[in-house]
């Protein structure tokens, strides 16, 4: 790789308008629909979370309270997703030349960190209750857990209706799915206790929920950190992109190649391209843009195309 800025332009070899504007306008209707489904899921989660907190306190069930805490992170995840989606819909302006798309990535980071923190609190309380388990009202835990499972299924269905594959929407779905597992754990604990089983099962169910929260939090943090560090999207090999471009007709060399994800679903490529002397550099650029779009699904490209400089093999010194 040679040094130098990868996104430097040279005499009109880049078409900045159509790639960037497509990303801003093509998805507007689906983004609006996604916000509506997010709002539906948020209403379902918040409504039942309040019921679960009251029931958990009355029944003395840490499993229910831990599930309610997980629902709180679900509500926060969906609320942040709504806010981030509104910010991401704003057009690029001023110093924000890529717009506010990464607001979604920041919200995913916050959601992941919140999952880790709440999982830690629940785990500590769960271990404490294993040593001295309180009395738990098994039938109440079963009833509330069953209703919670239905609410989670409805919320997951609402989120699955979202069309745009953003990290936020995927994160919200992961939250709700893990919460569904938590409801199942609460039902299991309530059934065991109502059948005369040990009260410690309630704490074990809470620890199971904490483990699921840790898994969801790690997944969100890992995915969002990759975007913030401008890594290539998962499943897209920059070396394969480079080899494909270099194998195109009329291409002498490809270097300073960068492939990164600006935000969910917005992949960008920048590269310095060298073509033979006298070749049609504009045609080569359009061909490269076409293969990037058709084979890799990349529409935002910054390609600096230059002609290969001719140097004589022997330098002849002037006389005198």
Average pLDDT, the chain: 77
Average pLDDT over residues 215-244: 89
Q: What are 99-148's pLDDT values in tens digits?
A: 777 877 887 788 788 888 888 888 888 888 888 777 777 888 788 888 88
Residues 6+ apart with CB under 8 A from 97: none
Q: What are 194-221's pLDDT values in tens digits?
A: 888 888 888 888 888 888 888 888 888 8
Backbone φ and ψ for 172, nearest 5 degrees, come out as -65, -40
Q: What's the Cα-to-Cα distance from 282 to each of 10, 45, 46, 154, rounded to whole Å?
A: 11, 53, 55, 52
Query: What predicted TM-score, i.e. pTM, was given to this entire model?
Result: 0.67
The per-residue pLDDT for 268 is: 92
Q: Which residue has the higher pLDDT, 27 or 134?
A: 134
Q: What are 59-112's pLDDT values in tens digits?
A: 777 767 776 776 777 787 778 777 777 776 777 777 777 777 787 788 778 878
Residues 6+ apart with CB under 8 A from 61: 55, 136, 137, 140, 141, 186, 189, 190, 202
Beta strands 253-263; 300-307: pairing state: unpaired
Residues 6+ apart with CB under 8 A from 63: 56, 141, 145, 182, 185, 186, 189, 190, 202, 203, 205, 206, 209
* Structural domains for the chain: 27-228 (1.20.1510.10), 233-307 (3.30.70.1350)
Backbone φ and ψ for 5, nearest 5 degrees, come out as -65, 130
The per-residue pLDDT for 5 is: 37
């Amino acid at each position: 790789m040679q040094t130098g800025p990868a996104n430097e332009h040279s005499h009109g070899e880049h078409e900045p308008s159509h790639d960037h504007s497509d990303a801003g306008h093509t998805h507007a209707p689906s983004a609006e629909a996604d916000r509506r489904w997010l709002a539906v899921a948020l209403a379902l989660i918040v409504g039942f979370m309040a019921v679960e907190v009251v029931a958990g306190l009355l029944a003395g069930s840490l499993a229910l309270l831990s599930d309610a805490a997980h629902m709180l992170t679900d509500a926060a995840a969906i609320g942040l997703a709504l806010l981030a989606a509104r910010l991401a819909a704003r057009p690029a302006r001023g110093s924000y030349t890529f717009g506010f798309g990464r607001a979604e990535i920041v919200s995913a980071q916050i959601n992941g960190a919140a999952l880790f923190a709440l999982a830690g609190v629940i785990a500590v309380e769960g271990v404490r209750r294993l040593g001295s388990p309180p009395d738990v009202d098994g039938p109440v835990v079963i009833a509330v857990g069953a209703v919670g499972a239905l609410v989670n299924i409805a919320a997951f269905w609402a989120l699955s209706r979202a069309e745009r594959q953003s990290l936020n929407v995927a994160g919200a779905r992961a939250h709700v799915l893990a919460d569904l597992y938590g409801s199942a754990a609460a039902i299991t604990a309530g059934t065991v206790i109502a059948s005369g089983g040990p009260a410690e099962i309630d704490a074990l169910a809470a620890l199971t929920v904490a483990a699921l929260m840790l898994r969801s939090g790690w997944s969100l943090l890992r995915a969002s950190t990759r975007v913030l560090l401008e890594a290539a999207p998962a499943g897209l090999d920059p070396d394969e992109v480079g080899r494909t471009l270099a194998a195109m007709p009329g291409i002498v060399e490809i270097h300073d190649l960068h492939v990164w994800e600006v935000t969910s679903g917005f992949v960008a490529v920048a590269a310095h391209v060298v073509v033979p002397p006298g070749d049609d550099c504009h045609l080569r650029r359009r061909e490269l843009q076409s293969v990037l779009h058709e084979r890799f699904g990349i529409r935002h490209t910054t390609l600096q195309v230059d002609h290969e400089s001719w140097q004589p093999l022997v330098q002849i010194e002037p006389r005198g």
